[in-house]
Amino acid sequence: MIKLDAGNVPLKPSHRRQLMTWLKRSLRLGQQLGDFALKITLSRAGRGYEARAAVHDAAGDFRCRTRRADVRDLFRELARMITSRLHAQQVARAA
d(CA 47, CA 89): 34
Q: What is the pLDDT of residues 21-41, one digit of tens each?
A: 999 999 999 999 989 999 999
Q: Could you say which residues of the chain have pLDDT below 50?
A: none
What confidence score (pLDDT) does residue 37 get?
A: 96
CB 29 within 8 A of CB 83: yes
Distances (CA, A) of 59 to 14, 29, 37, 43, 86: 32, 11, 12, 28, 9
What confidence score (pLDDT) does residue 78 get?
A: 96
Q: Give the domains, in start order, of the chain with CATH numbers.
A: 2-94 (3.30.160.100)
What confidence score (pLDDT) does residue 94 get?
A: 86
